[in-house]
Structure 1
Amino acid sequence: MFDLHRLRLLRELKHRGTLAAVAAALSYAPSSVSQQLSQLEAEVGVPLLEPVGRRVRLTEQAEILVAHTEAVLERLERAEADIAASLVDLTGTLRIASFQTAALALVPTALGLLRDLHPRLRVHVTQMEPEGALPALQARDFDLVLAEEYPGNPNARPAELEQEDLLDDPLHLALPRLADGSDVVGEGPMAALRSLVHHPWAMEPEGTAARHWAMTLCRNAGFEPDVRFETADLLLHLRLVEQGHAAAFLPDLVWGGEPPNVALHRLPRGQRTRRIFTVVRSGRSRHPAIRACRDALLRAVTQLSGQALRPHGSPQPSSQASP
């Protein structure tokens, strides 16, 4: 029988990419990780790693082992969930990763609900964009991730992860007053975008789904945006709009249920909402802590739903008037 600890090291190498990253994540010496994997190779009787420059990659046989290891670990997580469900009190640590606007608008309310209902549950929250949080979830650095999906930019859905929709978050074109005191030239969503062809923009960093969506939207309107401010901090986007430095695309969550304080305009049809959802590893969704957290997040959405937030699947308003 293969050693499960060594199989987990092989799995970690697949997800983290290098022996040094595996060692750092697990607080081991790199030489110890290498030695354990060499012993696993001896157990299996075939090479599991092959050199590629200064790195290594998994062989076909190693990939087979990792697939079976994933199935074993999923079953063990189901066992952990069943044990937790048999207990009266919910204890232990729940590790959550959330992108900024959900962390500000929803997570504090959910934490309050969890504290009241399950005072012995320790919740650890990390602010992280989905591009980094989802791979970390697969590597078992987190138990639950709050993620987002922009129109026309569907996320990959690995079989080992399970998604559950949370809400539809409306998106808007947010812009400062122009030099003549107006905000846009012309009427309609495309005209509003085209009026900003020479205006500075604030956008999220390159490589993010939000940036790809925003660039595509501007290019479909016929121009290349002048991106002068690049940050994942949407509160900074908002401040730049407020003070007349940039235009930006902002979601309702950025206001946390408060009335918007900048001029907002409709986006083209089919581009007006992003989907917010929670993600866990397969086999983890039945864990009482996961169920309690998802329930608390849904209740947090409900508390804000009367202030422009819409639970996922609710009807889109027939019109969005610009202030």
Structure 2
Amino acid sequence: MVVDPGQLRLLALIERHGSLTAAAHALRLTPAAVTQQVAKAERDWQVPLVIRGPRGATLTAAGALLASHGRTVEEASDKAEAQLAALLGHLSLRLRIGTFQAAALHLLPPALTALRHRHPDADVSVVDVVSGRGADEISAGRLDLAIVASWGTPLAPPPHLRAHSLLLDPMVVVLPDDHPLATGQPADTELHLEQLRDESWVSILAGHAAREQFHDAAREAGFTPTVRFETESYDVAQALVGTGIAVALVSRLALTHAPGTTHRELAHPRPYRQLYAVTKTDASLTPLADMLIDLLRDVARDITATWEAPLQETQR
């Protein structure tokens, strides 16, 4: 026969409490339900297990034997319950975050500071993750939340993941500060990409979505860009622009204001990247993820306001 651990545990509880009613209370069942379970156990084991008397219930020799194993089941059940409660308590305070450099520098720190004020006992960790790997890290269970970017097209995660929109991050042109387009017109002048058709460019490495977006934008502007320098870092790109040897298309969030550089907004339609927080669709075990997303959106609104303020000042 197939042993039912529930029957073993029931006999252990009857032995401990000395009555079916007390055992029923411990199991949060009715006495009638426990009586039925005892009857079923005796049919299954084909031997009397419980002796009912005016002062309660005692076990037969067979019942006591099974109850000894039931105590093991009960101890394992109690241990499992305690460990699960501890795990869920830990998970409720744990938040493993992955993010790329610009978001780690400008978007995440204020949100984490606010989260720490609300939950000083939070168990937070942060790792560098390129946007293309963020969703995979969530799926593999190594991260609870990843900040990722999508260039020009909406992010479409698989059904078990959810993308929470955070920030629209426009591309700007970074120029040497002595470039004619920087010195010959007001700082709030928007540039058209075709004005830079004859420039040498620093660009993100080929094969990256940002590089594809750049070439698509140049194609729409009627030229093929001359890419002299390739890098995986917007910081490196801006440092190279500062030497005066090239120009670059850089996200507004990633601007470092490197020495020797300035930047200009692009006229509409301007390329952009969209920033998202990616989580599992069911993130009920990590409630801090939803809280951080709200805080990230607050920070994103503040950042966007600082971008718009200079433009509003010039329009007055």
TM-score under structure 2 length normalisation? 0.60
The Cα shift of 1:249 comes to: 1.4
Does the 8 A contact of 1:174 with 1:265 survive in 2? no
Structure 2 residue aligned with 1:230: 230
Return structure 1 stretches of 4+ with deviation > 6 angstroms.
Answer: 317-321
The Cα shift of 1:272 comes to: 4.2
1:110-259, aligned counterparts within 5 Å? 110-151=111-152, 153-176=153-176, 181-183=180-182, 192-255=192-255
For residues 291 and 143 of structure 1, the distance between their equivalents in structure 2, rounded to whole angstroms, comes to 10
For residues 215 and 196 of structure 1, the distance between their equivalents in structure 2, rounded to whole angstroms, comes to 13
Give the secondary structure class of the aligned counterpart of 1:264. strand
Does the 8 A contact of 1:266 with 1:320 survive in 2? no
Does the 8 A contact of 1:206 with 1:212 survive in 2? yes
The Cα shift of 1:212 comes to: 1.0
Residues 124-170 of structure 1: CA deviation (Å, up to 9, x unaligned): 1112221122222222221111112222x343331111011112222
RMSD: 3.8
Does the 8 A contact of 2:200 with 2:226 survive in 1? yes
For residues 149 and 308 of structure 2, the distance between their equivalents in structure 1, rounded to whole angstroms, comes to 15
Residues 28-63 of structure 1: CA deviation (Å, up to 9, x unaligned): xxxxxxxxxxxxxxxxxxxxxxxxxxxxxxxxxxxx
The question of 1:108 aligning with 2:109 is answered yes
How many residues matched? Answer: 228
Amino acid at match of 1:106: L
The Cα shift of 1:276 comes to: 1.3
Give the secondary structure class of the aligned counterpart of 1:277. strand
Residues 62-95 of structure 1: CA deviation (Å, up to 9, x unaligned): xxxxxxxxxxxxxxxxxxxx979x96x9854311
Amino acid at match of 1:133: G
Give the secondary structure class of the aligned counterpart of 2:196. coil
Give the secondary structure class of the aligned counterpart of 1:290. helix
The Cα shift of 1:279 comes to: 0.7
* Compared CA separation, residues 246 and 257, structure 1 to 2 (3 A): closer
The Cα shift of 1:121 comes to: 1.2
Does the 8 A contact of 1:167 with 1:276 survive in 2? yes
Structure 2 residue aligned with 1:16: none
For residues 306 and 318 of structure 1, the distance between their equivalents in structure 2, rounded to whole angstroms, comes to 10
Q: What is the identity percentage for the equivalent residue pairs of Structure 1 and Structure 2?
A: 28
* Compared CA separation, residues 197 and 306, structure 1 to 2 (3 A): closer
Give the secondary structure class of the aligned counterpart of 1:123. strand
Residues 95-147 of structure 1: CA deviation (Å, up to 9, x unaligned): 11112211110111112112211111121111222112222222222111111
The Cα shift of 1:216 comes to: 0.8
For residues 306 and 254 of structure 2, the distance between their equivalents in structure 1, rounded to whole angstroms, comes to 12
Q: Return 5+ residue gaps in structure 2 as ranges.
A: 1-83
Amino acid at match of 2:171: L
Give the secondary structure class of the aligned counterpart of 1:109. helix
1:296-315, aligned counterparts within 5 Å? 296-308=295-307
For residues 313 and 155 of structure 2, the distance between their equivalents in structure 1, rounded to whole angstroms, comes to 27
Q: Return 5+ residue gaps in structure 1 as ranges.
A: 1-81, 311-316
The Cα shift of 1:220 comes to: 2.0
